[in-house]
Amino acid sequence: MASDPDCPFCRKLADPAGWAAEDVVWEFPHSVAVLGPWQFYTGYCVLVCREHATELHHLDGSTRVAYLKEMATLAEAIGGCFRPHKLNYELLGNQVPHLHWHLFPRSIDDPDRLRPVWFALEKADADPAEKTRLETARAHRTMIAALLRERLRADKAPGEPATP
Amino acid sequence: MASDPDCPFCRKLADPAGWAAEDVVWEFPHSVAVLGPWQFYTGYCVLVCREHATELHHLDGSTRVAYLKEMATLAEAIGGCFRPHKLNYELLGNQVPHLHWHLFPRSIDDPDRLRPVWFALEKADADPAEKTRLETARAHRTMIAALLRERLRADKAPGEPATP
């Protein structure tokens, strides 16, 4: 499986302590679901492909189908757990060109809900109070991750839960 | 197939003149690929699901798999035609909650390439010169659409080209 020693995601994937254990939500066969930092968007996850590829069409056909299916499975679990007004699915890779989905649940009471999250996140990068606000979940992070794991287990998601 | 008379995409899908014929790139079985307005991002397309659904997991399993495959097929064609530095795949629906992928090819010579396109597009909304800049393609729009159709035909994409 392709890997790139200079890629931060490849290094995390290769390192058993790459992500804090409590942040790893699910070990899918083709990807790892990690609870993201911005839990103002309750349930926000990043789904990192196990293979180093910069574009979906660089994956072989069956891996691509499986990775997209894992994305949809995780999205469904986030939707089922937290009932967001809308989910935002984004695969950008402008800064780290290793396939990873951002799954951002959007809330009806977010005054900025009509815009992509990036405006709020850029503001947070320059404003510590805003950063704290957007990093702070309505529930404990460990509870959010546990709810997602429980849901994925009930949905018989392929792979297995992380065991923090 | 689910449709919502109040949804702008459902209305366009139901209307043979919903999109300018020359902008319709490909009629996939489960979606329509339309050349987007911001052709500074050469090859930018929007892929509108034929069915009215707000989330991927609201589609039935086989439709979802097919729609995601069509997204990857279109992305590969954009990549093959225009060789972007990176593709950005975004399914948001914050303003129009009917499944549609934005596929934005990013160029290495875009000084803003490390950021999502939305910052530039929001600026363009308030600045006519910037709007013109981001709407203006390096090639004619008709040529861009024709190249994509040719590529999708060569790739034996399911469905058929639009015939402007």
Residue of B nearest to A60 (CA): B72
A112 assigned to some structural domain: yes
Strands B24-27 and A31-35: unpaired
Tokens 């910069």 identify what position? Answer: A54
Q: Report the residue of A47, A49, A54, A91 to disrupt the B interface, i.e. the one with the largest count of B CBs within 10 Å.
A: A91
Checking if the pLDDT of B164 tops 70, the result is no
What's the pTM value of the predicted model, to 2 decimals? 0.95
What's the gap in Å between the CA of B14 and the closest CA on chain A?
24
Strand, helix or coil at A60? coil
**B148 with B43: CB under 8 angstroms?**
yes
What is the model's pLDDT at position A70? 97
A3 assigned to some structural domain: no
- What is the tally of structural domains in chain A? 1
- A67 or B139, higher pLDDT: A67
B2 assigned to some structural domain: no
Residues in B 93-122 with any Cβ partner in A closer than 8 A: 93-95, 97, 106, 113-116, 118-119, 122
Which residues span the domain enclosing B117? 8-155
What's the gap in Å between the CA of A117 and the closest CA on chain B?
10
What is the model's pLDDT at position A164? 59
Residues in B 64-93 with any Cβ partner in A closer than 8 A: 64-65, 68-69, 72, 75-76, 79, 86-93
pLDDT in single tens digits along all 164 residues of chain A: 889 999 999 999 999 899 999 999 999 999 999 999 999 999 999 999 999 999 999 999 999 999 999 999 999 999 999 999 999 999 999 999 999 999 999 999 999 999 999 999 999 999 999 999 999 987 899 999 999 999 999 999 999 987 75
Mean pLDDT over B105-120 rounds to: 96
B138 assigned to some structural domain: yes
Q: Which of B55, B64, B88 sits opposite A87 (nearest CB)?
A: B55
What is the model's pLDDT at position B110? 95
The CATH number that applies at residue A55 is 3.30.428.10
A94 vs B contacts (CB less than 8 Å)? 86, 88, 106, 113-116
Q: Which of B76, B89, B93 sits opposite A91 (nearest CB)?
A: B89
Beta-carbon separation of A122 and B119 below 8 A = yes
What is the model's pLDDT at position B97? 97
Q: Report the residue of A49, A55, A63 to disrupt the B interface, i.e. the one with the largest count of B CBs within 10 Å.
A: A55
A104 assigned to some structural domain: yes
Q: Report the residue of B7, B59, B68, B104 to disrupt the A interface, i.e. the one with the largest count of A CBs within 10 Å.
A: B68
What Å distances lie between residue B161 and A9, A48, B91, B148, CA to CA?
Answer: 38, 34, 23, 9
* Tens digits of residue pLDDT in B3-54: 999 999 999 999 989 999 999 999 999 999 999 999 999 999 999 999 999 9
What is the model's pLDDT at position A118? 97
Tokens 């699901």 identify what position? Answer: B49
Tokens linked to A79: 């939707």
What is the model's pLDDT at position A139? 82
**A71 with A94: CB under 8 angstroms?**
no
B162 assigned to some structural domain: no
Strand, helix or coil at B58? helix
A122 vs B contacts (CB less than 8 Å)? 115, 119
What is the model's pLDDT at position A104? 98
Sign of CA dihedral A113, A88, B40, B164: negative
* Tens digits of residue pLDDT in A109-135: 999 999 999 999 999 999 999 999 999
What is the model's pLDDT at position B162? 78
Say what angle helices A61-82 and B61-82 make with each other, to 10 degrees.
120
Sheet holding A31-35, edge to edge: A160-161, A24-27, A31-35, A45-49, A100-106, A86-91, B86-91, B100-106, B45-49, B31-35, B24-27, B160-161
B163 assigned to some structural domain: no
What is the model's pLDDT at position A2? 86
